[in-house]
Structure 1
């Protein structure tokens, strides 16, 4: 733990001077005060770059400063003046670097040259790009394509992603897992079944017209702070915002707009959530069922009394299928069961239903608090059910709004990054490039982990990300990872996935999106898709961190040329020289989505890809929007609680973005100088005879013979539902069994893990000394 460890309550609003100070300190710590300030003025602007942090929508008429604290940190982190040159690796063995924290590794700075691991010295040594590509190609040629996994994080551009998926399919594999497998795959599975579209139906303009917003399991203050502008404007119109979340997150409680001089001077804050319901972790199905039950039974009463109906009967008749069965199932649930599973009182759920019933246009917003559960798919389907009851999909000011994490994770899927061959235009690829694309299903993230553990996966190529830290089953995964023949990391900064490596390992440093990408002296631009399915152009504006860096498309092309047989229809060099040609290829592959791609990518606010459900066109098996009856109220049926267990869910801090740790602070929760904490209610502390500051080991009870535990977590009292505890991601990942994932979507169920606590030896000794 840090010497400056402090934990104190925080009741300050999100935004405000706290955000301003954090932005300033981020620029100062990375030694880019002037450079970073200049670049931030270009973030999410028409003549600038798309934020490399979250995927929230980019408005057509941006604010003077269209960036948030999280986005500013990401920019400062990428354009830092700190460097990790080959000399750095001469000074440090891999064994030594393994002992560094996640924060220290990335804080060392930008990678500057391609490196290859040397077994004799246990160090990374510099290698030329040509030699790196040749060796990687030779290794890949020796392997069966089904034994190689090609992973991608969600930051790579549409152009890079298209080239990546084409290279992998020409190699002979659909092993294209990505970070969506670990977060919103539950969305991608649930929504096509219910509404026939795999993405949300809401545009940023809908927030200007909505009458009510429902929030489920999404921490806007740290994960998508720019959304607070839309929420604040809605609140100033008197729009109710009803939040369901186990923790009272500051961004969903109150907000001071840093771009408002009046608010900054007066401290006048906007209350974001008009109603805040702290449900149990995993209680979402039950909570939504309670709202649905209240609505349906009130509508039954209205029908019997001959008064105005609560449900949109015309919409239900014309546009939906399965309502009768869903309504019957809803009526059959007992309130006692709903209250027990949700952790909420019947009166609270009936109040939420009454507010919902009075609104003409309702938006349902959600994040990983819904998707990362055993029944995560059913969580999303239940929210869809609730919106369908009153026709709140496919009309202005309403709809379902999954908030994605990585800045282009949704867009990667649009251009073919998927392990599911039925979702890729294989026939079109075959026609355009005269090859036979593989038809066998590829591995998703969990299946890739299983393959590595079973030694069936022999190589892993990673386009960004920090896979080994992001996945569950950390201990077993790190051990098995070293048995792979080849690991390749395409990265901007050092992380643990470079250090836990295969027998042959390469670090290939790439340009970041904020950097100017010159090909043959001509500056290139790229494109990304935001959470609302709008596609935007992005121009790098900072000079590259090193003259040796290659762009992501150039790296993909280098590997492809060294691995694949020549194809007269695929000119990797021409594509790398002019990304406009890549966009032309994307348009040829997806003409309905990318018509006039090169011209439209600079349209203010982006151009939206077709989302049929937004037009009430239902591309489902029934031709209508489908109500789905959940199989149970419990979102976590594979880990049954016992009297001595607590339900753990993982959270992020405001000092991180996914696995990137900017600092060890979490100011919104009042934690400074450590990430090794465990949030728990005072009631459960008393029940378990724990004291604030006790150090505990958390373990996952299971009968599979695998010991899973994390030690040294500091007991920290917090306002959290009884029986629930929270800890940080990725520190708590070792507690998640690989088999504990969402049914059908296979998203790791990180938001509901049954665990047990025991005092660490240091706390036991301290307690004994105190008694003496």
Structure 2
């Protein structure tokens, strides 16, 4: 096996890079460090022992599956960090703010804000003192209700972060539509909305087709733009098991990520002591940013050539004839694609792409994995379409051991969409809303994240309710957003910890502290269970085990219900208090609203391994316009919306560190990349540093090369040598978000193009 960049004999060029495997002692050291900082309550060990197991807490980190037969320790470094971070002993209430204005706190680092501790009481912004003061739940709900009733529904936006359980999410979606709007942006708008929109067009489903069991039977796994070791480390165990039984792994990613190079299983005494780590990838190719379309075109040319050489032996012609449409036009464009252009756009040689194609051709059952390296591009639609094309050619969608599998980041981001959080009428059936609640749902589509931000800049949005998250920090064009945000009439944050979004209040602003996933949720009807959906469309119940950090906290569901009851006119069908007392009643409503997915919801809630809500494409039922899987004809070989210009022009990709989950910064160690300390770094290869006459450690600024009349710049970045393809630079999200224009996004979904923004470097 080799972990190549541009040739099989790739040699380390001496740039920062952790030569230790992912997992191993490093992951345990990372967990120990967070334990020392957060000093979690004594129940932490018990909760970690039950994490992702039937009857326990479902991890609040990524959306990876929870197996029916879990391992002794069914959590990873990221999951442990998220759990310990939530079980923090420190507290933030009104006393914390007595000596601190928001102006003061805006000078704190994101890490320090969250390190202050768990929010412990409801708070209201006092503009006279520029700080938050204590308020009661009754006054908070009354104030929010008064503000919402006073403004047209079109001016209200209800954002959700992807954390809240299915029950609270369903009521949140219902609340918005009862108010008269569908302005329900969600965190997926910033990451996997490209999937939700474009997979549905291609194969009729907005989610992946694989289940966990497919990894037990696949012959090959192809990764595109997904960093398993940092973003979903429990997945490494499944990859290792597949490699151990002979499956081949091929990776395309501009950055060499340790998780897909080698892995030492922390649960293996041998690998933690004397045995060698598992070599994960057969081939690891560092494709240029935006070059995946060219790679996939080259691989398909190889498949077609093999079929031409041995007709009837390569393509799954019976599957193609029965289940697909558009193949002839798409493959004509593939045959016409020029190898020189493919090499130029991908940054890889023809020989490398042929190596990858040989792995595909020798495998009967293939899984295509992808992450935000495919979705966060202007032409992300074509990235996905081309990957679907490749899989369709040999029938690798809709059979065991094969399929397309986006890896979702947040724990319930997929489930929230399933139960109605979304800007379209199709996300929550109008006939059910009428039948169950007497509500005439709006017929006009609402705003996603980009549209909501455009509305804010234009003065059309007046209220921003945030069910979790750190939206202002996660958005592109952050400096423009932070300037416009205070013009909002109302901002409301449902949260467990303080974050930067809380420091930019509207004219009227509240922080409503909620219990976390790890906390016991006791309501009038007794102890409650919440549920979530994983990346494989399985639904799980989650039971908190810790005493909430304050008696003043309420559950996310109780807070949604409290706001809704205060804002909406009386309607006997909207039983907010009954639903708060007993979440079973909400699950019954979910089952009535979405019977195909949630029949017998309460009876199946605690099923080990979760219950599968199904996926028509997995059964080769294609809910597309044509009734068949749709081939996509390529119109370009680059996913970039704009190429960098001039000698100093480069393509920017943003990254998350090993010490980070979304906008939560646990610390300043990017252990798996060999980087420590400041996050204000700009990574590029040594050849580019020399070409641009820069020095390692030199401080530079970066400007956006988008000609829209707006200057975007981030200063104070330290030039850091790193093994990247020529022509690109990398830096951390969210620090470099100000460089990504709001209007520079995937064309069908509005997903920001964080992985392919043209920039220039200024010495």
For Structure 1 versus Structure 2, the TM-score category normalised by the shorter chain is over 0.9
Give runs of aligned pairs for residues 376-415 of structure 1, distance below 5 A.
Answer: 376-415=380-419
The more displaced of 190-199 and 734-743 is 190-199
Using the alignment, how far apart are the partners of 1:667 and 1:267 within structure 2? Answer: 22
**1:515 matched to which residue of 2?**
519
Structure 2 residue 700 is matched with structure 1 residue 689 = no
Is the 8 Å Cα contact of residues 468 and 477 (structure 1) preserved in structure 2? yes
Structure 2 residue 675 is matched with structure 1 residue 671 = yes
**2:264 matched to which residue of 1?**
256
1:436 shift after superposition = 0.6
Per-residue deviation, residues 71-100 of structure 1 (Å, max 9, x unmatched): 000001101111112100111101000111
1:316 to 315, 320, 328: 320
Give runs of aligned pairs for residues 20-419 of structure 1, distance below 5 A.
Answer: 20-32=28-40, 34-303=42-311, 309-419=313-423
Using the alignment, how far apart are the partners of 1:738 and 1:642 within structure 2? Answer: 23
Report the secondary structure of 1:727's partner residue.
Answer: strand
Is the 8 Å Cα contact of residues 557 and 580 (structure 2) preserved in structure 1? yes
1:639 shift after superposition = 4.6
Is the 8 Å Cα contact of residues 41 and 88 (structure 2) preserved in structure 1? no
Runs of 4+ in structure 1 off by over 4 angstroms are: none
Using the alignment, how far apart are the partners of 2:704 and 2:547 within structure 1? Answer: 47
1:422 shift after superposition = 2.6
The more displaced of 25-34 and 324-333 is 25-34
The more displaced of 414-423 and 125-134 is 414-423
Structure 2 residue 562 is matched with structure 1 residue 554 = no
Q: Which runs of 5+ in 1 are unaligned?
A: 1-6, 760-772
1:623 shift after superposition = 1.3
1:670 shift after superposition = 1.2
Is the 8 Å Cα contact of residues 658 and 669 (structure 2) preserved in structure 1? yes
1:266 shift after superposition = 1.2
**2:733 matched to which residue of 1?**
729
Is the 8 Å Cα contact of residues 375 and 636 (structure 1) preserved in structure 2? yes
1:8 shift after superposition = 4.5
1:423 shift after superposition = 3.0
Structure 2 residue 752 is matched with structure 1 residue 748 = yes
1:513 shift after superposition = 1.1
1:424 shift after superposition = 2.2
**2:10 matched to which residue of 1?**
none
Using the alignment, how far apart are the partners of 2:567 and 2:686 within structure 1? Answer: 59
1:652 to 637, 653, 656: 656
2:761 to 757, 764, 769: 757
Report the secondary structure of 2:560's partner residue.
Answer: helix
1:521 shift after superposition = 6.5
1:238 shift after superposition = 1.4
Structure 2 residue 599 is matched with structure 1 residue 595 = yes
1:441 to 432, 442, 445: 445
After superposition, the Cα gap between the structure-2 partners of 1:287 and 1:641, relative to the gap in structure 1 and judged at 3 Å, is farther
1:565 shift after superposition = 0.5
The more displaced of 572-581 and 634-643 is 634-643
1:543 to 542, 547, 554: 547
Structure 2 residue 719 is matched with structure 1 residue 711 = no
Using the alignment, how far apart are the partners of 1:185 and 1:639 within structure 2? Answer: 23
| RMSD value, Cα | 1.0
1:252 shift after superposition = 0.8
Structure 2 residue 476 is matched with structure 1 residue 476 = no
Using the alignment, how far apart are the partners of 1:8 and 1:753 within structure 2? Answer: 24
Structure 2 residue 580 is matched with structure 1 residue 613 = no
Structure 2 residue 704 is matched with structure 1 residue 700 = yes
Per-residue deviation, residues 497-525 of structure 1 (Å, max 9, x unmatched): 10011011100000101100000271100
Is the 8 Å Cα contact of residues 297 and 331 (structure 1) preserved in structure 2? no
Report the secondary structure of 2:50's partner residue.
Answer: coil
Report the secondary structure of 2:28's partner residue.
Answer: helix
Using the alignment, how far apart are the partners of 2:404 and 2:323 within structure 1? Answer: 16
2:23 to 15, 21, 28: 15
Structure 2 residue 587 is matched with structure 1 residue 583 = yes
**1:573 matched to which residue of 2?**
577
1:453 to 457, 463, 488: 457
Per-residue deviation, residues 145-187 of structure 1 (Å, max 9, x unmatched): 1001100001110000000000110000100000011111100
Report the secondary structure of 2:595's partner residue.
Answer: coil
Tell me the TM-score normalised to structure 2 length. Answer: 0.97
Query: Between Structure 1 and Structure 2, how many residues are aligned?
Result: 749
Per-residue deviation, residues 217-270 of structure 1 (Å, max 9, x unmatched): 000001000000100000101111000000110111100000111111115200
Using the alignment, how far apart are the partners of 2:429 and 2:233 within structure 1? Answer: 35
Q: Which runs of 5+ in 2 are unaligned?
A: 1-14
Is the 8 Å Cα contact of residues 27 and 36 (structure 1) preserved in structure 2? no
**2:638 matched to which residue of 1?**
634
Report the secondary structure of 2:598's partner residue.
Answer: coil
1:638 shift after superposition = 3.5
